[in-house]
Structure 1
Amino acid sequence: MNIGLITPDPGHPLLAGTTALLAPEHRVTALHPQTATGDGADLADVYLLKARTPRALALARTLERRGARVLNSAAATELCQDRTAMADTARRAGLPFAATSGFDTLAQLVSGPPLPGPVVVKSRHSRRHDLVARIDSGAQLRALVPTWSQEPVVLQEFAPNSGWDHKLWVIGDRLFAALRRSELAPEGRGPSRPMDPARLPAGWAGLVHRVGEVFGLDVYGVDIIDTGDGVPLIVDINAFPGVRGQADAPRALADLALRTA
């Protein structure tokens, strides 16, 4: 089999581990989104889209138009980059996603009416080093203006919780789980603590797999907070996350690539 990796970083631990498992019997080729065009060359049996930049999405679309299978698809990946569209899609499907409203810029939000109690402000477009902040006062919101004034943002209700996020990842039919202190907690984000998915509250595993069905994802992450007595609230969905600290994740990804190919 020929497996293509759409990524600027084939040495990422998840991809490197997957490549090590596949390479003895299969060909693994990395395509850098900044330089690869997707035209002309023979198609791989499957491509793993571990990048979310506009150039990476354009490359994935070119390959898809030529008949290639891409995991995740360009359309599904792009949907998870827009938190407004993400929230609309999830709530229309009946998923317990945090109530979300969008603003063209942070400046527009600042100039509006006072915020009703604690809220969470996030960049509308999900990416590395984006804006994620709990806001308890107008002063805190205005303090973001010098850096983020023209940033498109979303506003989410803040739901009281334990201060720990449940980081849940799916690769094909495999579910992985960890606990991580929320970046909104006063203590700040801490390291992830792997947990047995069997210890999740009843119904959570099914909920996470339902997310994949709704969004058309094969490799994805779901951030859930427990709002009390095991009641889940989805606060983010990520296409092809790193799934760090999960020893079996590379094997699950290698198996998924081969089954798809």
Structure 2
Amino acid sequence: MRIGLITPEPGHPLLAATAALLAPGHVVEVLDPSTAEGVPDRPADVYLLKSRTAHALDLAQRLEGRGASVVNTAAATTLCQDRTAMAELAQRAGLPFAATRCVGSLSVWARSAVPLASPVVVKSRYSRRGDLVARVDDAAGLRELAARWPGEPVVVQDFAPNSGWDHKLWAIGDQVFAALRRSELSPGGRGPNLPLALAELPAGWADLVRAAGAAFALDVYGVDIIDAGGGTPLIVDVNAFPGVRGQSGAPEALAALTLRRATGGGSDTP
């Protein structure tokens, strides 16, 4: 079978390890969305979409139009880039997602002089590498942030007191992986991922991850959860095709999922 990787970084650890597993019996082709001139005349049996650029999404959409199987689909990947749409879908699906409101331009909001009743988390509305994620405690902090990010479209979530650790949960098909990482809102910034056995997760969290995947129509995805107290989960982000770095068994799970999609296997999510 022919397997395509839509990515400018075929050396990414997860992709490289997966390609090495698939290569002995299959043809693995790299399609760099930044240089691809168009859709191949004969699409591969399946494509892994490990890029979120406009070029990559357009390419994936055109491949789907030609009947190609793409993991994740262009539509599902696009949805996860808009944090307003993400929150709306999560709430409709009954997921415990952080209440999210869109306030438009950060600079306009900072000039509104509306006092902050309590700390909030401000995020770029459109998720991307190097985007804005910051805690704001007062109007002075908001003005300072607006000076550094003028005109940035943002969403706002009330700050939920927590331990300062994020639960980084990933799924490849039906298989869930987990780690702990210091929150990027922590004074020292986020550190490395610390391995976490699924048995150490609060009851029901792994199933919650799978439910999020089903709601967002994702096959390879990440769900960031904080413990809001007593094991109560609060989802703060969902992302399509994360790196899943350093997780034993992740390349094997992705290789198996890829072959299932290549042969017409349906989604693993419930």
Q: One fold, TM greater than 0.5?
A: yes
Shift of 1:140: 1.1
Q: Runs of 5+ in structure 2 lacking a partner?
A: 263-270
Task: Report the CA distance between 1:199 and its aligned residue.
Answer: 1.5
CA distance in 2, matches of 1:39, 1:26: 20
Q: After TM superposition, give the deviation of residue 38 of structure 1 in Å.
A: 4.1
Match of 1:80 in 2: 80
Q: Do the aligned partners of residues 42 and 156 (structure 1) sit closer, same or farther apart at CA in structure 2, a change above 3 Å counting?
A: same
Cα distance in 1 for residues equivalent to 2:36 and 2:170: 29
Give, in angstroms, the shift of residue 111 of structure 1: 2.1
- SS state at 1:143 partner: helix
- Equivalent position of 1:122 in the other structure: 123
- Render the CA deviation track for 1:139-186: whole Å, top value 9, x for unaligned: 111111232111110000110000000000000111000000001112
CA RMSD across the alignment: 0.9
Which runs of 5 or more residues in structure 1 are unaligned?
A: none
Q: Tell me if structure 1 keeps the 8 A contact 2:124–2:154.
A: yes
Kept in 2: contact 1:38–1:63 (CA 8 A)? no
Conservation of the 8 A alpha-carbon contact between 1:102 and 1:154: yes
Equivalence for 2:13: 13
**What residue is the counterpart of 1:258 in the other structure?**
259
Q: CA deviation at 1:247?
A: 2.3
2:174 is the alignment partner of 1:170 = no
Partner of residue 192, structure 1: 193
Residue by residue over 1:202-247, the C-alpha shift from the partner in whole angstroms, topping out at 9 and shown as x without a partner, is: 1111110000100000000000000111000000001000001112
Q: Find the aligned partners of 2:36 and 2:60 in 1 and give their Cα distance.
A: 10
Q: Which runs of 4+ in 1 moved over 4 A?
A: none
How does 1:137-176 map onto structure 2 within 5 Å? 137-176=138-177
Q: Distance in 2 between matches of 1:116 and 1:257?
A: 48
Deviation at 1:108, TM superposition (A): 2.0
**Following superposition of structure 1 onto structure 2, how do residues 51-66 of structure 1 map, counting pairs within 5 Å?**
51-66=51-66
Percent identical across equivalent pairs? Answer: 67
**For residues 215 and 39 of structure 2, what CA distance do their matches in structure 1 show?**
31
Assess if the C-alpha contact under 8 Å between 2:22 and 2:255 holds in 1.
Answer: yes
Instruction: Name the TM-score, length of structure 2 as normaliser.
Output: 0.95
The count of corresponding residues between Structure 1 and Structure 2 is 261
> Does structure 2 conserve the Cα–Cα contact (< 8 Å) formed by 1:37 and 1:59?
no
- 1 CA distance for matches of 2:24 and 2:240? 28
With normalisation by structure 1, the TM-score equals 0.98
Q: Could you say which residue in structure 1 is the equivalent of 2:97?
A: 97
